[in-house]
Structure formats: C-alpha cells, structure tokens
Amino acid sequence: MMNETPQTQLNSTLEDASVLQQNDQLMRVARCAIVTLDAECRFLQTSASIQALTGYEPSDLIGTSYYDLIADDWREKVQSTGCISPDGEEIQQEFPLQMTDGKLCWVRHSAVQLQQAGEIRYQCMIQDITASKQTDVALQRTQRRNQALLDALPDMMIVVTRGGQLTGFHISPESDSLSVSRKVAAQQQNIHSLGLPEVITDELMMHLDMALDVGRVQTFEFQMPNQTSTGKDDLRDFFEARLSAVNEDEALVLIRNVTPLKKIQQELRQHNEILHTVSEFGMELSGKLSDRYVAMHAVDAAVRLTNANEGFLATVHGEPEILYMMGSYDEREVLSALRNPTGVIARVLETQKTELISNVETEPGYQRFVPHAKSLLMVPLHGRDELIGLLYLEARSSDRFNEERMATLHLITDRIEAFLENARLYRQKNEELEERRRLYEEVRQLEQLKTDMIRIASHDLKNPLAAILGYVEMLTWDGDENFSQTQLEYLNNIETAAKKMQRITSSILSLERIKQMAQQTSSERIDVAELVRRTVSEQMDFAVRFKHVINRNVPDAPIAISGDAIQLHEALSNIINNAIKYTPQQGQIDVSVTVKDTTVQVRVKDSGFGIPEDKQARLFSPFYRATTEETREIEGTGLGLHLVKNIIERHNGTMFFHSVYGEGSTFGFDLPILLG
C-alpha cells in the first residue's frame, strides 16, 4: 500500500465510486462525507460531498495527508491524539478543517478500522457541525455574560428577622420589575407590608425559617406579572430568592430578576429540540421508501419546528395526490384547489418559492380549508429537475410564523425533498415492475393459447392428411390405366405436399411434447455410448440408400449422464439424419464420442454441402432453413435443429457447430457427465 502512487489510489477510488455515490445526495443534504484512510492517514477514497466541506475536488485529495486539511492551530493537538486508532477502537473528535477559501469548517470526525484483502484501512464519517458549533458558542457566551451581570446586580437585598421585621434593605434603582413599596422598605416595616403577593411572602418566610434552622442557603423561584404587561399577553417575570442566615434571628434575602437567563435557557431548549427534531427526522426516514410514511413524518416535524396547528403534504407532479393531512381538512376540497390552483397556491406553484403570509384575511384569493386559520406558510418541494410536492402549514395566530421559523423549517426541507424523491422513484419502479408482471402474465396466457391452438391444429390435421395420402395411394395403384400423365403429376404433387404437411405437424407436435416433458422434469441414468451405438444402427438403412459410409468411434466403457433417453435419442437421430440428407451420394459420416474433464462430447461430421457463413447465424431458429442451390430440393421443415437445441439446453448442455461451405459440417453437443 505504501508503494501505490496517487494515480493508482485514484483508480482504486474510481472503481469503488459507485458504492460512495449511492447515498451521495443524502450526504450532501446532511452536510457529511465518507472517506477511507490508510494507516498513515492518507486519503484512499472519498465521497463527492467532501467538496462541500473543504472546497477540494475529491481527486485532488487522493494520496494527500488528512492532517493537512486540519486548521493550523488544531493540527498538532489532533495529531497527538490521532484521528485513527491502530488498536481498532472507534475514534470520535471535533475539530475545524481549513477550506480552500480560508474559512473554517467545524466537523465531527468518527473513524473505525476495516480490513480489506489483508490491509488495514480506516473508514471515517465527517459531518459538518459549523452551524451548531457557532450557535452553541454564541449561546454559551451570552449565558455567561448575563449570568455575570445577574450575579453582580441583584434587584433587591433585605435583612429579615424570624418574625418578618425588615432590619436592612437595598433596592436597585434600575429595578422596576418588582412591584414592592420602597417606602415600606425604607421605614423598615414588616415584610408583609412590602406589597409582594401573599403566597410569595409566605413561601419566603418558610425558606427563611429553614435557613435559620439548618444554617444552609435556601433558594426558591417565583413569578410575577411583568410591569409592562397589558394583561392580554400575560407576560411574566421570573425571580430567584436566595436566603442565608446572618445570625440566629436574621437572614439575608437576595432577590434578582432571572428572566433574561430563563429566556436564554428557553432558547437553548428550543435549539436542542430543533436539533433533536432534525436528527430524529433523518434517522426515522433513513432507508424508508414509502412516500406516505415520509409525508407523515415530514408534516409532523414541520408542525413541531414552526408551531403550526394544521398542515398537509401533497404531490403536484402529474395528478395531485394528498399524501398526509394533519387537521380538519376536506381532502376533496384540497384536491380540487390543487387541480385548479388560484391565488397564493397558483403563485407558489408558478414561482416555486416559499411564501409566508402573516394575515390570510388580507391575502386576495386565499381559499380557506380550515376554520380559525390566521397565517400561512407554503414550501414548494423539488425533485431532481422538477417540482414534485407542496408542504402547506397553517396557524391560528398571526404571529406564529416568522422568518426565523421559516429558516428553521428549511433545515429539513432538503431532506424531505430527497426522501420524497427516493420514495417517488421507488413507487414508480414498483408500478413499472407490476405492469411488467401483468404484461408477462398476458404474454404467458397468449403463449399458452398459441401452444394449445398449434397442438390442436397439428393434431387435427393428422387424420385428414392420412386420408388424403391414403386416397392418393389408392388412386395411383392403377394410375397408368385411369389417368393421363398430367393427372398423375397432379397426384404426385398432392402426395408431396401432404407428406410435407405431415412432417411439419409431426415436428410441431414433437417440439411441444419436448417442452411439456421438460416441465415434468423426468430424469434417468443414461449410457451415452450405448445411446449413440443404437441410434447409428437405426440410421444405417437410411444411409445405405445414399451409399454413405458411416464411421463410428465410440468407447466400449459406459459413459453415464442424467436425462431423458427419448428426448436425447430424438436429438441425436435428427443430427445424423440431417448429415445423411445433406451429404451427396457416396459421402462419409463420422460419429464420435469423447470424454473431456467432466463433459462428454458427441460429434457428427459429414462431407456434405456445408452451410454458407451468412446463413449460419439463424441456423437454430424455428422454421429457418439455410437453403442453397444444392439443397433446394431436399425436404425439411426448419424445426429439426431448433428442436435439438431445446433438448440439449434443457439437459444443461451446449450445442457444437462448425461448417465450411462446399466442404461439410460438424454438428454435436456437450453434456455433463454423471459423477459417482
């Protein structure tokens, strides 16, 4: 592996490219890449999506060090810990990569050890976490800053006795969130006179007693209406009270407004929920190919990310179809609107851009599907090169949708499009497969009908042909006395045509019988040597008529195969019969049987007319005869060799053929020997 050049490694990468490209679209959507490293952390393979993370072409990285991509101030740290484990343990790290444009791309790196052909390699998953890293850093920085401010500036400090008497106080002049009486505090009156709600005062006194009794700091939180709240929005502030004993009878109470901290915590929770929803959505749909299943989870995730109340997902490629609805929608009404779009639906389908409408009452042409809807968010979904779907979300308040939530929704729309496109293609392939099955069944039935008709027609022709031949024979018994020479020629032509029809019907019936017998899968042990000897003997009388010499070269020892003796006898008889017919008188025919490895080879060589090269390609086709000037008068149906080929192939054998026009032909077949 150390001696491989970058070009060799690139060739190896290209050979395996199909594996990396299968999920390349999903990897681009998920902002991740898969790479393979050697033991020196050099690139062996990489998915095309690495370019989006680094800016480098995949081919430029092959053979280079992975560490060269790591940012300068992180490279030494990563090298010291190692991005791969020689012990085979899984490695997980986070560090920034230096992109070609100088920017940093934070990634989560996971590596596992593989062994391929005795060589140790490492397969790594690299996932872009730049956005979440920046968000986390910003949130942590804001949280620390606000925490420091809150720690330094409590809204109110008071000293209270066990009986509730104020003995010391300090209220921040900037604090207006606590609706307490500064005058009461200044006069050091009882805590119940401060103006705090009674339930909060009671809880404060309970924790004060606990702080004095146990000597430990007590903490509790409470809420109060925001001073700027109108009552309709129900805005509330959050406070934290810390109580610590000063002496046996007094406690210091620090009260501070923690509303900003609560908001940050809430934003952090929402951020985590968004990340969880996006991650859960991707994992749930990974490998799923049902478009309705994809749509159900897509609508559910979209509703959670945007706080929508209702929504649906529909396909708009071809005939519109509702894949999933959440809410009280009338499917027929929605389908009608998609088939004949107007207003905002028509605009989105035409522009293929996302639309956010905060107040549907002011939107001309808005078609109401559900009651109480106040705002609308529509996202067009694209396939590879066309619009395939529409995500339709509605909310019951006008401020529910905003640019931030729309941007959040776009975190999953790319994945929805990819999953939906894959599901659409999968369903399309299934429909095509089902259509092919239906067509195959129709063809099978038509083939069976054709076979039945041929069998019936061929069978029913036998009796009329036999009658014709019988009457012709009877007429020719005394033909010289009863018929003229012309009439005798007519009778001869009738007899020739009838016999030709008889041979055709016999061949067709033989072919159908062979197919039927093959379906019944009958098999027996056959001695090929004996079969050849017997078949040659049967053809000797026919060969004598042509004054041919037949040479037989067959081993004495048995050669066992498995098959149907009747079918194989018919195939061999056909080959020898053809050799006799297509060889001029006083010719030579050699029949041989040889064993080669686990195969028995049967050959029939003649010194006949031979077959022109341009006619050899279709030689085994049904009803085809390679007619030449020399063979024009030889009778035949063109089914014999087709029949032989069918028989041999059904016995797991192969046909042999060689012919030189004007010199002769060799026909034969190879069959597997029955071992043991």
Q: Rounded to whole angstroms, how far apart are CA atoms 486 and 490? A: 6
Structure tokens at 555: 């081993």
Cβ proximity of 398 and 358 under 8 Å: yes
Q: Give the C-alpha separation, 369 to 310, whole Å.
A: 10
H-helix segments, 324-402: 331-339, 343-351
How many Å separate Cα 385 from the centre of its chain?
A: 18
Mean pLDDT within 309-318: 89
The whole-model pTM stands at 0.40
Q: Residues 6 or more apart from 329 whose CB is under 8 A from it?
A: 310, 312, 369, 370
Amino acid, res. 638: G
Structure tokens of 364? Answer: 């001309």
Higher pLDDT, 510 or 537: 537
Tens of pLDDT, residue by residue over 495-533, are 877 777 777 777 666 666 656 555 555 678 999 999 999
- Of 604, 603, 552, 615, the C-alpha closest to 577 is 604
Helix%, strand%, coil% for the chain, nearest 5: 45, 25, 30
Domains of the chain: 6-128 (3.30.450.20), 138-265 (3.30.450.20), 287-411 (3.30.450.40), 521-672 (3.30.565.10)
| Helix, coil or strand: residue 225 | strand
Neighbours of 41 (CB within 10 A): 19
Instruction: State the number of CA atoms in the 13 A half-sphere of 65 facing the CB.
Output: 9
CA atoms within 13 A on the CB side of 374: 9
Q: What pLDDT is stored for residue 95 in this prediction?
A: 93
Q: For 280-312, give the DSSP string.
A: HHHHHHTT---HHHHHHHHHHHHHHHHT-SEEE
Whether 50 and 36 have beta carbons less than 8 Å apart is answered as no
pLDDT per position as a tens digit, 434-480: 889 988 888 877 777 666 666 666 656 666 777 788 878 887 776 66
pLDDT at 240 over 60: yes
Confidence of residue 292 (pLDDT cuts 50, 70, 90): confident
Classified as helix, coil or strand, 675 is coil
Q: Look at residue 280 and tell me whether its pLDDT is greater than 80.
A: no
Local confidence band at 550 (pLDDT 50, 70, 90 cut-offs): very high
The enclosing H or E element of 506 equals helix 485-520
What pLDDT score was predicted for residue 174? Answer: 61
Give the C-alpha separation, 470 to 460, whole Å: 16
